[in-house]
Amino acid sequence: MMSRAMNKLLLEGKTGVIFGVANKRSIAWAIAQSLANEGMRLAFTYQGDRLKESVEALAGGLKGSLILPCDVTSDEEINAVFAAVDKEFGKLEAVVHSVAFAPREDLETDFINTSRAGFKTAHDISAYSLVAISKAALPLMEKAGGGSILALTYLGASRAVEGYNVMGVAKASLEASVRYLAANLGPKNVRVNAISAGPVNTLAARGIKGFTGMLHHHAEKAPMRRNVELEEIANAGLFLVSPMGSGITGEVMFVDCGYNIVGL
Count other C-beta atoms under 10 Å from residue 243's C-beta: 12
Angle at 233 between CA 252 and CA 49, to 5 degrees: 100
Each residue of 216-243: pLDDT tens digit?
Answer: 888 999 999 999 999 999 999 999 999 9
Q: Please name the residue ranges forming H helices in 38-190.
A: 48-59, 75-89, 104-108, 116-123, 129-144, 165-185
pLDDT of residue 48: 86
Residue 206 has pLDDT above 60, yes or no: no
Separation of alpha carbons 187 and 146, rounded Å: 10
Residue 96: DSSP 8-state: E
pLDDT of residue 1: 38
User: Which of 88, 68, 87 has the alpha carbon at shortest distance from 78?
Assistant: 68
> What positions carry a catalytic annotation?
154, 164
Looking at domain 12-255, which of 3.40.50.720, 3.40.50.300, 3.90.1580.10, 3.30.300.30 is its CATH number?
3.40.50.720
Contacts of 83 (CB under 8 A, 6+ apart): none
- pLDDT above 90 coverage of the chain, percent: 84
pLDDT of residue 2: 43
Residue 40 has pLDDT above 80, yes or no: yes
- The upper half-sphere exposure of residue 64, i.e. CA atoms within 13 Å in the direction of its Cβ, equals 15
Query: Contact at 8 Å (CB) between 44 and 18?
Result: yes
Query: Contact at 8 Å (CB) between 248 and 210?
Result: no
Please give the full DSSP string across 118-132, using - where no structure is assigned. HHHHHHIIIIIHHHH
Mean pLDDT (whole number) for 10-37: 96
Task: List the beta bridge partners of residue 152.
Answer: 195
Q: Indicate the pTM of the whole model.
A: 0.93
Mean pLDDT (whole number) for 35-53: 94
Residue 21 has pLDDT above 90, yes or no: yes
pLDDT of residue 214: 78
Mean pLDDT (whole number) for 172-191: 98
pLDDT of residue 217: 87
Choose the weakest-confidence range: 6-15, 175-184, 246-255. Answer: 6-15
Separation of alpha carbons 199 and 25, rounded Å: 12
pLDDT of residue 29: 97
pLDDT of residue 18: 98
Instruction: List the domain boundaries for the chain.
Output: 12-255
Each residue of 144-164: pLDDT tens digit?
Answer: 999 999 999 999 999 999 889
Residue 6 has pLDDT above 70, yes or no: no
Mean pLDDT (whole number) for 12-41: 96
Query: Contact at 8 Å (CB) between 182 and 240?
Result: no
